[in-house]
Structure formats: structure tokens, C-alpha cells
Amino acid sequence: MDRRPIGVFDSGLGGLTALRELARMMPEEDLVYFGDTGRVPYGGRSTDTIIRYAQQDVAFLNTFQPKAIVIACGTVSSTALETLRREWAIPIFGVVEPAARAAAQCTQNKKVGLIGTQASIRSGAYERALSALDPKVEVLTQACPLFVPLVENGRYKVGDIVVETVAAEYLQPMKEQGIDTLMLGCTHYPLLREVIARYMGEDVSLVDVGGQCARWVTDQLTARGLRTDKQGRGARRYFVSDSPEGFCRLASVFLGEDVADRVEQIDITVY
């Protein structure tokens, strides 16, 4: 039994797709979320920069003395997980492993598509995890650098001609190759789920990396005896590194509750 909070972070608001699932599966747990909105997107940056940003993100969350940290970001999970695990003694969970497991279980024709940021695709982390689970799986990859800025600007809905055009361009090659499973390798992408699902058609299953990660974290904390014994709904606190305004608006829509009075701005560069 452990009453400490769970720290969750992402470069922006995409990690809320994982936080929402964590809150659904473990409603009584206290959750602290950090979105690095002042420096998003991470996905086009160098490995060194992503690692440095991630180190600061974890150092900030560590001030809450969390019992675990969830990297609700495909880019950081695929680029900095090992470094962070070496540096911190608390359990740190990333999205790559649980997502790879879900995709390996899901595919029938062994053709899996992976979309993610440039850094995630460059790292090869998802492919390594998948091939360790099933060497017969063929992975087709596509970096989608425009998706994160579109989502951060609220452009993710069906009927938005800009996002639909961008999605068609990115996804066409995978559709033509006949994948039956598509990994949404970035935690921002579940917001585009409807747009992506419509384009790919109902024969393609979508794997949401944040949701898979939340399931895995829940199982792990339970197995390690780290769940809280508190009753009722846990506290939710949100921190961002830029003005909270845009984040509050989109986060409130996405989480289905007004979070404005629980979002604070911090200076991440001091950590």
C-alpha cells in the first residue's frame, strides 16, 4: 500500500490520453501531470535535447515524491527511458513495451503499421520491442511531424479539411500495403483516432499507446503492492511550462471536466 501520487508527463497535452485511462482504471489514486507546453513538440529535436528535457520533467515531478512516473510520451519513451531508469530509483514506465505487446497480440497478417514523431521512428524502439516479441512481424513506419502541432492547436476533428488531407498523405502507403494493425505511437494521436480510423477503414485495428501503458501501469502497481488504500476520487493536479490558457481549454474538453482551477504554470528550466 502506498499513498504517494503517480507522476505523469508529456511534451504537451497528448499525455492526457494516458492520464484519462489511468484515472479511469485507478480513480482513487492522486495524479500529478506535467505538460511541457513551452517546449512542445519534442519529436523533431535531437536525442540529446529530448533526454535533457525529459531529465528536467522527471526532476520536477520528483518534487512531489511520486511512487512511480509514467512517461506518457512516445518520443521520450523511445529515446530516454533507459537513461531515466538509470538515474532514478523509483519505477518509471514508458509506452513502448505495452504497446508493442498489444500490437503483437492484435495482428493476424503480421503487418503492423507504426506512426509516430520523427524521434520515435528514428529510435527504432517500437520495432525492436515488436521483433523481440514476434520476429515474423513486419513493421511499416511513417513519421508524422505535422500531427502534434495540429492537435496542440485543436485541429483534430473529423471534417477538418487540413487534418484530413495531412492524414491521408501520411497513411496512404500503409493502407496500400495492407496492414491490419496500426500503432498510434504518439500519445497525441488518439485525439485523431476518428480521422485515422475513417481513413484506414474498419479492417485495421488501432493500438493506442497511452491506453495500453495505463493498463500496464495499473497491473504493475497492483502486483507490486503500490496501490493506495484511500477511498474516493484522488486529487488531480496539472502543471504546464507555458501560459495555461490553451491547455485548460483543450484539456477540459478532452477530460470532460473543467480543470482551469487546477492548472499551474511553472519554470521547467530551473529543474
Just list the catalytic residues. 73, 186
Element (H, E) at 111: strand 111-116
Task: List all residues 6 or more positions away from 268 whose beta carbon is below 8 Å from its beta carbon.
Answer: 34, 36, 38, 39, 53, 56, 57, 60, 241
- Pick the binder of ligand DGL from 5, 7, 35, 41 (CB under 6 A): 41
Residue with Cβ nearer ligand DGL (14 or 244)? 14
DSSP code, position 204: S
Q: Which stretch binds ligand DGL (CB under 6 A): 9-17, 129-137, 160-168, 231-239?
A: 9-17
Residue with Cβ nearer ligand DGL (41 or 234)? 41
The separation between CA 40 and the C-alpha centre of its own chain, rounded to angstroms, equals: 13
- Pick the binder of ligand DGL from 179, 186, 250, 268 (CB under 6 A): 186
187 binds ligand DGL (CB under 6 A): yes
120 binds ligand DGL (CB under 6 A): yes
Task: List all residues 6 or more positions away from 196 whose beta carbon is below 8 Å from its beta carbon.
Answer: 167, 171, 182, 184, 189, 206
Q: x/- contact string, 189-228, with ligand DGL (CB under 6 A)? A: ----------------------------------------
CB of 33 to ligand DGL, least distance (A): 13
117 binds ligand DGL (CB under 6 A): yes
20 binds ligand DGL (CB under 6 A): no
81 binds ligand DGL (CB under 6 A): no
Helix ranges (DSSP H) in the chain: 16-25, 47-62, 74-87, 96-106, 118-123, 125-133, 147-152, 161-177, 193-200, 209-223, 244-255
CA dihedral 174→46→239→70, nearest 10 degrees, is 60
Q: Which stretch binds ligand DGL (CB under 6 A): 51-59, 125-133, 185-193, 223-231?
A: 185-193
